A and B are shown apart, each in its own frame.
Chain A
């Protein structure tokens, strides 16, 4: 567009603003999609429009050995691939370096935090607020008491305003308790449920297992949809045909 046309356009816009107000006409902008962090499983990524939400809380609930930790480890690998700092809050002291290495986690570029619940909760706030970490995984797999859940919910509530302004993806791994609703779930932008489905047997030997991830809560839609994940023991993991 040449200078004279540009000037004419500005004059017209100024006239419209004067007559109809500043909101009457606006400059168009590219529709910015929320920043995502890949889960490492393309089927699940498709369901979540590219991965879990950065600047938000993702809660992964399930029973132990249902693939929750594997999903978290794959998220760490994805974060490290894009040079994001990763902090793993290991409340249960159950972090397994063997599995982490197997799923491609660079252990040297990760901070592991192990402490009592109160300290870890407080640390969680500080880490999120610092805005430095690209991914924070909070493994709260032992069942939290009501008091602990309340405290954690309070910490997350305090951290949410900063979290939404940052690129940090906060992932919470919690134990699935059907009878009780988690206090924290109200703050989650995304809730995923993992459930073991079946063993994958080849040549009479167990080669891995299939787990199903159900989207329990997601602001972008697709709630209730499922993505099967194949987690192999020997080779690399594959995904089931969706």
Chain B
């Protein structure tokens, strides 16, 4: 049994958590002012992805418009994927955050929702419905989100079924009734290219049933080599399996402080301790990390997140501590910190390196450090900067790199 889980307003839900908008519908737009995602209430009144801001405002006058932030969405999608691992390890996230292709942007059919395929194994009808209910409850308890679920024997039918499901009532298509269910649905459910859509339209084929009834050889001759697969989908025959979700290993260290801490010295000492603990854990697993994440919960309830990708993977306690110290200097702390969560991810096994007898950095780099030292001794360190990559894929240019005072040491 394959389950197709649709969370239609995940993006808006996440942004809603971070802001207070008195329960108003939220519409997320790109910099160009195009609608990229919307909360369920806005979708219900006709707001769609790709729509202009003015049109969306006309349809949903009381909506709040916010700029889209992709990172929390990706994190939430992955977190939900991890939570679903309690039910099955065969999970596919189909509709992740939609990024416009570089050359020829196209509007996706439904970019705002997160879609998951889950292979629930061999289940009877009643068992599948019970499991679906449990799954929906789990998502509500853990993340506070509502999800619609379609259940069928194959991915395509389940994805079609989810369109008829509501958060209260999952839609189940019984084994053997797939073709009958699909026959009434529009042929546009298949990912057709422009030419094929046009030809089908001209031939008067508008439903999956009409398309499924065409002879196989005619489909091949008329629409080309990709068409037989779509023809099979229309007939309810979908043999595609759900891929196994690979869990990325990571280590988390959580520290709850006795009271709000603002003192940099205390925080530095804490990070040294965390660095040692992280290094110990990594060494025990014979792993190195290349990405460090820092999450600080402040006394006023706000959460600050920062992360850094290291140039080389490491399990060195000092390096980890130093990176964490640098991370905290890059954030502005107006109030004390009450909770610290450090995540070391992108774990890899250490790569063996041939060490030099007197291992030193490359000549140019080494001499450059000497030059920097000489210059800072004479001119001070105010003029010299190093460019540090932060979130190089971030849509805001100023968030991609940081200009930090060059470190002579």
The residue that A107 contacts in the complex, of B102, B104, B387, with Cβ under 8 A, is B387
Q: How far is the CA of A49 from the CA of B367 in the complex (A)?
A: 28
Q: Is B368 a contact partner of A107 (Cβ separation < 8 A)? A: no
Contact A112 B364 (CB under 8 A): no
Q: Pick the contact of A234 from B103, B363, B374 — CB < 8 Å?
A: B103
Which B residues are in CB contact (< 8 Å) with A113?
383-385
Question: Chain B contact residues (Cβ within 8 angstroms of A): what range?
Answer: 20 to 34
Q: Does B397 sit within 8 A of A, measured CB to CB? A: yes
Contact of A112 among B362, B370, B374, B385 (CB under 8 A): B385
Identify 24 residue pairs between A and B in the complex whose beta-carbon atoms are under 8 Å apart, listed by A's number.
A80-B364, A83-B362, A85-B364, A85-B365, A85-B367, A87-B368, A98-B397, A100-B387, A108-B386, A110-B387, A111-B371, A111-B372, A111-B386, A112-B384, A112-B385, A113-B384, A113-B385, A119-B379, A126-B375, A126-B378, A126-B379, A132-B371, A133-B368, A203-B104
Within 8 A of B (CB), among A81-116: 83-87, 95, 97-98, 100-101, 107-115
Q: Are B371 and A130 in contact (CB under 8 A)?
A: yes
Chain B's closest residue to A134 (CB) is B364
For A127, list chain B residues within 8 Å (CB).
Answer: 371, 375
A interface residue count range (under 10 / 10 to 19 / 20 to 34 / 35 or more)? 20 to 34
Q: Which residues of A contact B (CB under 8 A)?
A: 80, 83-87, 95, 97-98, 100-101, 107-115, 119-120, 122-123, 126-127, 130, 132-134, 203, 205, 234
Are A107 and B389 within 8 A (Cβ)?
yes
Report the Cα distance A136→B104, complex, angstroms: 40
Residues of B within 8 A of A130 (CB): 371, 374
Number of cross-chain contacts by CB at 8 Å? 87
Return the chain B residue nearest A100 by Cβ: B387
Q: Are A119 and B383 in contact (CB under 8 A)?
A: yes
Contact between A132 and B383, CB atoms less than 8 A apart:
no
13 additional A-B pairs beyond A84-B364, A86-B368, beta carbons within 8 Å, are A83-B362, A85-B365, A107-B387, A109-B362, A110-B387, A111-B372, A111-B384, A112-B387, A113-B383, A122-B379, A126-B378, A132-B371, A203-B104
* A85 contacts across to B, CB distance below 8 A: 364-365, 367-368, 371
Q: How close is A133's CB to chain B, nearest CB, in angstroms?
A: 6
Q: Is the CB of A109 within 8 A of B103?
A: no
> Considering the chains assembled together, what is the distance between the CA atoms of A220 and B102 in angstroms?
43
A95 to chain B, nearest CB (A): 8
- Asked whether, in the complex, the Cβ of B400 is within 8 Å of the Cβ of A98, the reply is yes
Q: At the interface, is chain A mostly helix, strand, loop or mixed?
A: mixed
Complex Cα spacing A114 to B367, Å: 20
B392 at the interface (CB under 8 A from A): yes
> Is A109 touching B389 in the complex (CB atoms < 8 A)?
no
Q: CA of A122 to CA of B380 in the docked complex: distance in angstroms?
A: 13
Q: Residue B319 at the A interface, CB < 8 A?
A: no
Give A79 Cβ to nearest chain B Cβ, in Å: 8
Q: Which residues of B contact A101 (CB under 8 A)?
A: 389, 392
Interface hub of A87, A97, A122 (most chain B Cβ within 10 A): A97
Cα A21 to Cα B310 with chains together (Å): 66
**B382 in the interface (beta carbon within 8 A):** yes
In the complex, the answer to whether A112 meets B386 with C-beta atoms within 8 Å is yes
CB-contact partner of A97 in B103, B368, B400, under 8 A: B400
Residues in B neighbouring A115, C-beta threshold 8 A: 382-383
Q: Please name the residue on chain B nearest to A96 by beta carbon.
A: B397
Chain A contacts for B403, CB-based, 8 A: 112, 114
Which A residues lie within 8 Å of B379 (CB)? Answer: 119, 122-123, 126
Q: For window 76-125 of chain B, which residues contact chain A by CB distance below 8 Å?
A: 102-104
B383 contacts A107, C-beta separation under 8 Å = no
- Given contacts A112-B403, A126-B375, A132 and B386 within 8 Å (CB-CB): no
Do residues A132 and B370 form an inter-chain contact, with CB atoms below 8 A?
A: yes
Q: Please, which residues of chain A bring their CB within 8 A of the CB of B362?
A: 83, 109
Q: Which residue of B lies closest to A97 (CB)?
A: B401
B311 touches A (CB below 8 Å): yes
**How long is the Cα–Cα vector from A133 to B371 in the complex, in angstroms?**
8
Q: Give B406's nearest chain A residue, CB to CB.
A: A111
Partner of A132, one of B368, B378, B397: B368
Q: B125 to nearest A CB, angstroms?
A: 51
Do A109 and B368 touch (CB < 8 A)?
A: yes
Task: Name the residue in B387, B403, B406 with the highest tally of chain A Cβ atoms < 10 Å from its Cβ.
Answer: B387
Q: Which of B382, B383, B401 has the most CB of A within 10 A?
A: B383
| A residues in contact with B363, CB < 8 Å | 83
B403's nearest neighbour on chain A, judged by CB, is A112
Q: Are A114 and B383 in contact (CB under 8 A)?
A: yes
